[in-house]
Structure 1
Amino acid sequence: MKVYALVGPSGTGKSHRAVLLANQYQIPLIVDDGLLIYAGKIMAGSSAKREESKMGAIRRALFFDEKQTEEVKKCLKKLNEDKILILGTSTGMVERINERLELGGIDQYIDIKDISSAEEIEKALSVRNNEGKHVIPVPTIEVEQDFSGYLLHSLELFFKKDNQTVRHEKSIVRPRFSFYGNLSISNRVLVDLIEYLINKFSKITEFKKVKVEETNNQLFINLSLEIVYGIKIRRFIEEFKAALKEHLENNTGINVKEINIEVYSLKVRE
């Protein structure tokens, strides 16, 4: 197997560039932050971005966990491909990963500075340092369960392959670990956010119950509303649920799993 290594400091855009690089060199396999990725799917491993601490993330990315390492090695043997790309913050890191996965040595090193401009690297660093955003080079559907509450949005790439346009989706996440400590949002704040949005909808005339439960970093919401008579109830409720989900996720970063709404009364306006 031919082993490529993409090297660059944390936050310089390696994961963002990995897909384009893999397409250029026709590399089917990517090892990034503890994951083995094949044809846009997570095949084995566990993401370092799920760890609760920076040290835990480093250990995960370096395959210190024997179970994780054996799982990836077994999957590599089963896939039996001829090329692989390893991402790392230094030559020492990619060499350590190469050793742990028993890949037999790195054939070609690629520096992030050779494939990204200084302006692109500076922009990537700004996004990482100021917004805490990280890229995982797989579609959102591949990571949304593991990153519930930490998934921000997806990013689409389009490139040419064999005279055809190929679409590839990447996921933007905010990891569990942070240099800035932990953020805790009280239930009262969540209720206040919901009541704030309710007051923005003129067709909601009253509400009785606002119940919010947080389980496994996911929100479950129950509401009882009085709305204006004469509107299409189902359509309005679906529109409100979509707005509420976006409102809460944008303001808290917590995934809204379920919203249940009871319409207990209709208000006839004079």
Structure 2
Amino acid sequence: MCEFVSWKEVEAKGSKKTVFFLTDDEVFSERGREMLEGLKDNDFLGHHAIDNIWGSLCKGGKHGEEKNFWESDKLPKEIQAKLHDFESFKKNFGRMITQFAQEDDLEYIIQNAPSDKKWKGLKSFCRAALAAIPMRDVKTEVLEVGVRHDLSVDELVKANKLAWANEAVTSKNYPAKKGSAKKQELVLVSMGRDASTKDILKMMKVLKLKAAKPVALLSLGLDHPNRQKENPIVALGQTWRGSGGRRGVPCLCFGGARGLGLGWCGGGWDAGCRVLAVRNS
């Protein structure tokens, strides 16, 4: 669980007590983004982030936190002014919760928050945020590619002039109906985290994308040969079942030279891998 909502109280000699806390305004300001760069998600909602942004002003302050933030009478008056019902929560803290709260944080709110008039909408808001967690780190990039439907997989492998290619990536294992070459927008998708094939395909459905096939992948290699030097690129749209029953898919990769590997759908994909997709027609 994170430390939301949290604050630090500082009481200097002969001066009024000051309460330091963070809202969306501070966290997503230019200075806030700079000061909080590199923090883990939950840190944005807790005392660590408060220390980073307010610095020496809150040094030595007393930590405070209240996970049942809807019991606003337990909060310092300074926070109560910005957090006293669902609308104020959404306005001042909604973006932080949407981007940084973890599953257990959101599940706690869903299970324990009240549903009275003041807080109506809070549980629905958190359910939506919970459902969106897998999409947080997803990034997409559109590339225009001349997709060579006029060439077979064997011909495309040869045309790419690769240093090496897995012997299983052939026209026999990945048959494709021939047609005319055409310009097409392909989408590189990065999950930003380790993910299973099932998770990736589910995410693509949300994005209204479908996994590209080997012909599109190898056409990308022709038009943008340096892209595989950055990260591996895999095409999940057509599989070949190996002798052991595993489903293999081609992957453009780089190990000192451009190559074509074979990945296995059952093993999952690491955060650095990108998946090639096409838009649903």
Q: TM-score range by the shorter chain?
A: under 0.3
Q: Which has the higher contact order (CA 8 A, sep 6+)?
A: 1
Q: Which structure has more strand as a fraction of its residues?
A: 1
If the length of structure 2 is used for normalisation, what is the TM-score? 0.27
If the length of structure 1 is used for normalisation, what is the TM-score? 0.28
